[in-house]
Chains A and B, each alone.
Chain A
Amino acid sequence: MDNIAKLIDKAKEETAEVIKKNNDITQDQDRNIVTSGLTLSEEDALKAQIFGCWSIPLGLPYNENLLVRIKLMLEPDGSVSKTEILDHARMNKPGQGFYKVLAESALRAVKLCQPLRVPTSGYERWKELQLNFDAREMLEG
């Protein structure tokens, strides 16, 4: 059993290696290989919609690692059936007030935006979606 575990770990490393190698390829190809989900225009439409819904809490520090990853379960019409903050444990940890504020603002953005502008076809591709909210660029001015 231990051997299997080692092999699985090895497989993970190999996957990581493959992805790393692919990073050397141009950005567009990278996008197709790693995410292989939405076309550029589909992704841009979704981003543009969420940009408009996300009120960034301006009090957040720009120099801290404040990345909020939210996994969404979507209905075919783009409405959101379930949201899950992937680092949920961080929400209630002491000293993580900024993270909690950012996570709540990201959840509000998702709720405010729905139904999301999703592609009209290929539901199986995007019925699960992960949004990575990162405000550093905006907060740095």
Chain B
Amino acid sequence: MKKSFLILFCIFLIPIKAVALIEVDITRGNLNPLPLAVSPLSIDNKSKKNFEKILKKENIGSEISIIVENNLRTSGLFNPISKEAFLQAPDIANLKPRFEDWNLIKAQALITGKVTYIDEKLRVEFRLWDVLAAKEMMALAFTTVPSNWRRVGHIISDKVYERLTGEKGYFDTRIIYVAEEGPKTQRKKRLAIMDQDGANNKFLTLGNELVLTPRFNPTSQMVTYLSYFKNLPRVYLLDIETGTQEVVGDFPGMTFAPRFSPDGKKIIMSFAKDGKSDIYTMDLENRLVEKITNHPSIDTSPSYSPDGKFIAFNSDRSGYQQIYVMKSDGSDVRRISFGNGIYGTPVWSPRGDLIAFTKLHKGKFYIGVMRTDGKGERLLTENYYQEAPSWSPNGRVLIFYRETKTNAKGEGFSAKLWSIDLTGYNERLVETQTDASDPSWSSLLSN
């Protein structure tokens, strides 16, 4: 009897318990940038004077915090709060933030830190705080030569970005591009490189020869690009760190867009031979060239998937220029773009999930993305003329270039770099010293 009662009790208890807790599904939220406060990094007087002497910067702590703030703001995912609203001094905030004060100005996250001069080195400590939970989320320290102070700002930005979004950042990176000057018909084109925020711009070539399509090696600071030497296309390798340059080879006819394989051991490109344009790879160690496509159509713009197993490319084999994907040995070719218009410059995302492209439809150029099977096409931006998307190393942002229309007198032409978030928001002009085209984004320098 007792046993039966217990069983009955249990049977009744479980269903009641199972339905008692009210569940509410939260499937929507806001996509507003997260409000956060970047407190100036505190610095003692002695360190301040030392860095002022070495770097000619009055307060290096403030300068680093400005870099962090600008990076996070331009990502479009964060909204740094004006420093004028801050209630707590940087040195005290770094020891123990008064979370009520930061809560009062609506900061959900807080970055604090300290800069010191130790043994002729720059030491930077920083902390990331969750203001609402009143707890530390991350604390790190870096020691480096003082001249690396901007990179420290970028690395802090990357760490904060990763901790708050879940994906790696893209701030400690560089962009190589073609710097352009002069009238449209007589453009002087030089290879140039800069930090992703536009700082430390350097010209790498003199402008005597036409340079085209620089592309970073995903595993190093090596670049491949195309240049015309005595009117013949020539593919170069350039080591950004050492400045060493070597010729990979002279190729016949029209040669296009050399690009590295994901392991950096090969380059893939297209060139015209025997009256048709096909895709070829070259092993950089033994310089052996292998033909990948063999079709009477024009095949160009190859780009490897990040695992190296597939290649996306352009072909007019269906009559119009479309995007195709094949296995890296050239087999199993399948068309993936089927929308209206013509498609070009496919670039596989470093995350592997999307392919960015340029599309021309009814006289307008679009930069868009589609899944690797061609589904889910999304056009991110439309303009008079724009092309050559290149992914940030985390696959979140695309950089490309856009040209403006000239007037009847042939004036008013310009070419500028722009970036746009994968969501299609946060379109930004990327400041460069001259006109610019053909950008390529490096991998993270601190990898």
Q: Which residues of chain B from 311 to 360 have a CB within 8 Å of any chain A CB? A: 353
Report if A56-B14 is in contact (Cβ < 8 Å); known contacts: A101-B165, A104-B133, A108-B130: no
Q: How long is the Cα–Cα vector from A57 to B23 in the complex, in angstroms?
A: 23
Q: How long is the Cα–Cα vector from A127 to B15 in the complex, in angstroms?
A: 19
B29 at the interface (CB under 8 A from A): yes
Question: What distance in Å separates the Cβ of A95 from its nearest Cβ neighbour in chain B?
Answer: 12
Contact A59 B22 (CB under 8 A): no
Contact B26 A51 (CB under 8 A): yes
Q: Which of B24, B29, B34 contacts A132 (CB 8 A)?
A: B24
Contact A58 B28 (CB under 8 A): no
Q: Which residues of chain A from 124 to 141 have a CB within 8 Å of any chain B CB? A: 125-126, 128-138, 141
Q: Which residues of A contact B22 (CB under 8 A)?
A: 35-38, 125-126, 128-130
Q: Residue of A at shortest CB range from B394?
A: A59
Per-residue interface assignment for chain A, residues 97 to 141, with 1 indicating a CB less than 8 Å from any chain B CB and 0 otherwise: 110111010111101100000000000011011111111111001
Q: Which residues of B contact A132 (CB under 8 A)?
A: 23-26
Contact A4 B10 (CB under 8 A): yes
Q: Which residues of B contact A108 (CB under 8 A)?
A: 108, 130, 132-133
Contact B108 A56 (CB under 8 A): no
Which among A50, A52, A59, A130 has the greatest number of chain B C-beta atoms within 10 A?
A59
Q: Which residues of B contact A51 (CB under 8 A)?
A: 26, 28-30
Per-residue interface assignment for chain A, residues 72 to 85, with 1 indicating a CB less than 8 Å from any chain B CB and 0 otherwise: 00000000000000
B27 at the interface (CB under 8 A from A): yes
B164 at the interface (CB under 8 A from A): yes
Q: Which residues of A contact B161 (CB under 8 A)?
A: 59
Q: Which residues of A contact B34 (CB under 8 A)?
A: 55
B408 at the interface (CB under 8 A from A): no
Report if A138-B11 is in contact (Cβ < 8 Å); known contacts: A35-B22, A108-B130, A112-B108: no
Q: Residue of A at shortest CB range from B18?
A: A15
B378 at the interface (CB under 8 A from A): yes
Q: Which of B20, B24, B27, B31 contacts A38 (CB 8 A)?
A: B24
Q: How long is the Cα–Cα vector from A100 to B7 in the complex, in angstroms?
A: 40
Per-residue interface assignment for chain A, residues 44 to 75, with 1 indicating a CB less than 8 Å from any chain B CB and 0 otherwise: 00110011111111111001000000010000
Q: Residue of A at shortest CB range from B15?
A: A15
Q: Which of A11, A15, A57 contacts B166 (CB 8 A)?
A: A57
Report if A129-B27 is in contact (Cβ < 8 Å); known contacts: A59-B165, A104-B133, A107-B133: no
Q: How long is the Cα–Cα vector from A97 to B378 in the complex, in angstroms?
A: 28
B residues sitting closer than 8 Å to A (CB atoms) are 3, 6-7, 10-11, 14-15, 18-34, 77, 108, 130, 132-133, 137, 161, 163-167, 353, 378, 394, 396, 423
Which 6 pairs between the two chains have the least Cβ-Cβ distance? A37-B22, A59-B165, A54-B29, A59-B167, A101-B166, A56-B29
